[in-house]
Amino acid sequence: MSFTVSDSDKTVTLFVCLGIGLTASVLWAGIAPLSGQAEASATQLANAETFRWNKPTWAPTPPVPADNPMSEAKVSLGRFLFYDKRLSVDNTMSCGSCHQQARAFTDGERLHRGVNGLPGKRNAMTLTNVAYLPSYTWANPSITSLERQMLIPLFGDHPLEMGMVGHEAELYTRLSGDRDYPRRFRATFPEDGGRIDLRNISRAIAAFERTLLSFDSPYDRYKHGDPNAISRAAKQGEALFFGERLECYHCHSGLNFTDNYTQQGLKFPETGFHNTGLYNEDGMGAYKSSDHGLRDITSNDEDEGAFRTPTLRNIAVTAPYMHDGSLPTLESVIGQHYAIKGHAALSPNGPNPLRSDFIEGFSISDAETNDLVEFLRSLTDQQFLTNPAFADPSTGPRQANAAR
C-alpha cells in the first residue's frame, strides 16, 4: 500500500473502507494535521445527528455539550472507563463502585466511602436520566456538566473519594499501558490522535452516563398505553402524589419527577433547590455544620439547607434517602419527614423555619402511605437495572440484589 500525504482525501476513504484498525489509526494520526481534523469534526457532527438514543420517541432528547457529541465508540470507551478501578489511586474503586446498576447507580450506603475506607459527606446520587440535569451533585449550581462533575470524585481531597488528586500523570500511564485503550482512544478521538488525557477521559465517561436512560417503568407503560401496567394501589398513590394535600409534585415534577430539568433546545432550564426541613440545629433553621447545602456554594443565607430535588425514578432501589442518607425507607421519608413538616419537627428545636413553603405537613393513613409507596415502586425500571449495555463490560450484568 502506498499513498502520498497530498492525496489524503483518498487515503481517508481507503481507511474508512478498511475500518479503523490499529495500523490505520496510526496512519490516520500521521495525516491528521493536514486533513484529519476537518474530517473528524464532520464525522462527529454526523454521529451526533444520527446517534440512536435508547429511549422511546415520546421522551425528549437530552442536551449534549457542543464539544462532546455522542458516538457509539465514545459511549463504549466511556463504559470501560466507568468500570475501571485504575481510575482510583489504589486501584480499588471505579465510578461503578458507588454507582451500581442494580441499585439504579447508587451504593446502598448512607454515605459514600472513599479509597481510605472512611465515609464521605453525602449519599451517592442515582445516575438515572442524569443527562437531563442542568446541574450536578446535591447542591452545586456551578457544576453544569458531567464532564466537570466527575472531577470531584476523581480528584477531590475532602472527602477523599477516588483519591487521584495529584496523580493524573500516573493515570495516563496506567491507561496508556493497557492493551486496548490506546486503540479505543484513537478511534474515539481521532481529532487529537486519541490523546489519553483528562479531557478525553471525562468526555467518554460523560457520554456513557448520558446513555443511562430509564423510561420503561410500569408507570411509563401505564402513562403510554397500558392501563393495567400498575396496580390499583399505585393508581391511588398516584392520585395522592399529585394531590394538593401532599404537595409532592410541586418539586417532584415533570419527566423525571424533579424540578431540575433541561433537554435539547430548551432555552431556560428549570432548577430547584429546596430546604425540606430535615434539620434545625439552632432553632433558626441551621442544618448540621458538616453540610449547609447550597449555602456552602453561594454563601447566601437564604440557601441554608437547600438541596437539589432528586429524581424519583427508581427511587425504591436507592435507599437510604436524603442528602446524608439519614432516612432508611420510603415510609420514613413520608411519615417521619414530609408528613410532619420535616424531620426536624421531631427535634427539640421543632420544624425548620427556613423550609420550603410546600413542606406544611399532612395527615396520611397507613393505607395511604402504602398506596403512595406502591406508586413510587411503579417508577422502578427493571430493564434499566439489568440492561447489559449499562453493565460492567468485563463481568456482564449483575443480578439485581437491591430491595425492590
Partner 1 sequence: MNASLLYKITVVALLLSISSAKAQTDLSSTQHVEVSFTGRLAGKPFACGSQYESVGSKKSTVTPQDLRFFVSDIDLLDANGATVPVSLDQDGIWQYKSVALVDLEDGTGGCRNGNAAMHPAVTGVVPAGHYVGLRFSVGVPYELDHGDPLTAPSPLNMTAMFWNWQFGYKFIRAEVTALPVPHAAGNGENAEPPAATGTGSASQVVDKSQRRSSGFAVHIGSTGCGNGSATVDPDHECKRPNRALVTLSQFDPAKDVVVFDLDRLLAESDVTENSPDTPPGCMSGENDSDCLPIMRALGLPYRDSPAVEQVVFYAEPKQ
Answer for the pair 186, 193: CB distance below 8 angstroms, yes or no.
yes
Residue 18 makes CB contacts below 8 A (sequence gap 6+) with 24
- Report the residue number, 63 or 190, with the smaller CB distance to partner 1: 63
Residue 246 makes CB contacts below 8 A (sequence gap 6+) with 240, 338, 362, 364, 372
User: With binding defined as CB under 8 A, does residue 30 bind partner 1?
Assistant: no
- Report the residue number, 225 or 268, with the smaller CB distance to partner 1: 268
User: With binding defined as CB under 8 A, does residue 303 bind partner 1?
Assistant: yes
CB of 297 to partner 1, least distance (A): 4
Cβ count near 87 (within 10 Å) = 25
User: With binding defined as CB under 8 A, does residue 141 bind partner 1?
Assistant: yes
Q: Which residues in 182-207 are b (16+ Cβ under 10 Å) and which e?
A: bbbbbbbbbbbbbebebebbbbbbbb
User: With binding defined as CB under 8 A, does residue 255 bind partner 1?
Assistant: no
State which of residues 49, 57, 66, 268 lies at the interface with partner 1 (CB under 8 A). Answer: 268
Q: Which amino acid is at 100?
A: Q
CB of 116 to partner 1, least distance (A): 10
- Report the residue number, 141 or 350, with the smaller CB distance to partner 1: 141
- Report the residue number, 158 or 179, with the smaller CB distance to partner 1: 158
In the region spanning residues 185 to 224, those forming contacts with partner 1, defined by CB under 8 A, are 198-199, 202
State which of residues 8, 88, 97, 140 lies at the interface with partner 1 (CB under 8 A). Answer: 140
Helix (H, G, I), strand (E, B) or coil at 68: coil
CB of 349 to partner 1, least distance (A): 17
User: With binding defined as CB under 8 A, does residue 264 bind partner 1?
Assistant: no
User: With binding defined as CB under 8 A, does residue 288 bind partner 1?
Assistant: yes
- Kindly indicate which of the ranges 180-188, 287-295, 326-334, 392-400 contains the residues binding partner 1, using the contact rule CB under 8 A: 287-295
Helix (H, G, I), strand (E, B) or coil at 55: coil
As given in the structure block, the three cell numbers for residue 356 are 420550603
Listed residue (20, 16, 387) closest to 208, CA to CA: 387
* Cα distances (Å, whole numbers) of residue 87 to 90, 137, 150, 329: 9, 19, 11, 32
Total interface residues for partner 1 by CB under 8 A:
41
Listed residue (92, 44, 86, 91) closest to 69, CA to CA: 44
As given in the structure block, the three cell numbers for residue 141 are 449550581
- Kindly indicate which of the ranges 134-142, 180-188, 209-217, 351-359 contains the residues binding partner 1, using the contact rule CB under 8 A: 134-142
CB of 298 to partner 1, least distance (A): 4
- Report the residue number, 64 or 102, with the smaller CB distance to partner 1: 64
Q: x/- binding map, residues 144-183, to partner 1, per CB under 8 A?
A: x--xx--xx-xxxxx-----xxxxxx--------------
Q: Which residues in 22-56 are b (16+ Cβ under 10 Å) and which e?
A: eebbebbeebbeeebeebbeebbeeeeeebebbbe
CB of 368 to partner 1, least distance (A): 34
CB of 289 to partner 1, least distance (A): 4
User: With binding defined as CB under 8 A, does residue 282 bind partner 1?
Assistant: no
Q: Per the omega criterion (within 30 degrees of 0), is the bond before 310 cis?
A: no
Listed residue (215, 260, 230) closest to 372, CA to CA: 230
Q: Which stretches of the chain bind partner 1, using CB under 8 A?
A: 134-135, 137, 140-144, 147-148, 151-152, 154-158, 164-169, 198-199, 202, 260, 268-269, 271, 288-290, 292, 294, 296-300, 303
